[in-house]
Amino acid sequence: MSISFEIVVFLILVALAFDFLNGFHDAANSIATIVSTGAMSPHWAVAWAAFFNFIAFLVFGFAVATTIGKGIVDPAIVDHYVVFGALCGAISWNLITWYYGIPSSSSHALVGGIIGAGVAKAGVGKLVAGGVL
């Protein structure tokens, strides 16, 4: 199935919205303790966090990205509807938990969104047990 350029652009914009909310929702978690204890200034804490987040793929490779892309649901069922559903689920969960002050992870929200969209499209049989468990 071929999808239009407009759909691809739309999905990229939705993914960017998720990424923005990920930073908005989760970014402070990595530096809150070190700043609140006075061990590091906010400026240096943000600089260190940005640096190590940027180079993390060099040390850890693409294992997490591979699991998200291929290890949660069967890649054969993933289409633009599944991607859109997963992103909408993760964005919705992030906004709900932020509004009510419930601590949660955007990464876990995305995994849940992928599982939910995959199950809605093709059923539980298309989940990859090793990636879900």
Do 99 and 52 reside in the same domain of the chain?
Answer: no
Q: Which residue has the tokens 């070190």?
A: 34
Do 105 and 115 reside in the same domain of the chain?
Answer: yes
Do 54 and 67 reside in the same domain of the chain?
Answer: no
Q: In the chain, pLDDT over 70 holds for what percent of residues? A: 99
Q: Is 83 exposed, middle or buried (0-12, 13-18, 19+ CB in 10 A)?
A: middle
Amino acid at 109: A
Residues 6 or more apart from 46 whose CB is under 8 A from it?
31
| Domain hosting residue 81, numbered range | 5-24+62-132
The torsion angle over the Cα atoms of residues 52, 54, 60 and 66, rounded to 10 degrees, is 150
Do 42 and 105 reside in the same domain of the chain?
Answer: no
pLDDT per residue as tens digits for the range 11-42: 999 999 999 999 888 878 888 899 999 999 99
Do 49 and 96 reside in the same domain of the chain?
Answer: no
Do 43 and 10 reside in the same domain of the chain?
Answer: no
pTM: 0.84
Do 85 and 96 reside in the same domain of the chain?
Answer: yes
Number of domains in the chain: 2
State the pLDDT at residue 1: 61
Helix-, strand-, coil-residue percentages of the chain, each rounded to 5: 80, 0, 20
Do 80 and 123 reside in the same domain of the chain?
Answer: yes
Do 49 and 90 reside in the same domain of the chain?
Answer: no
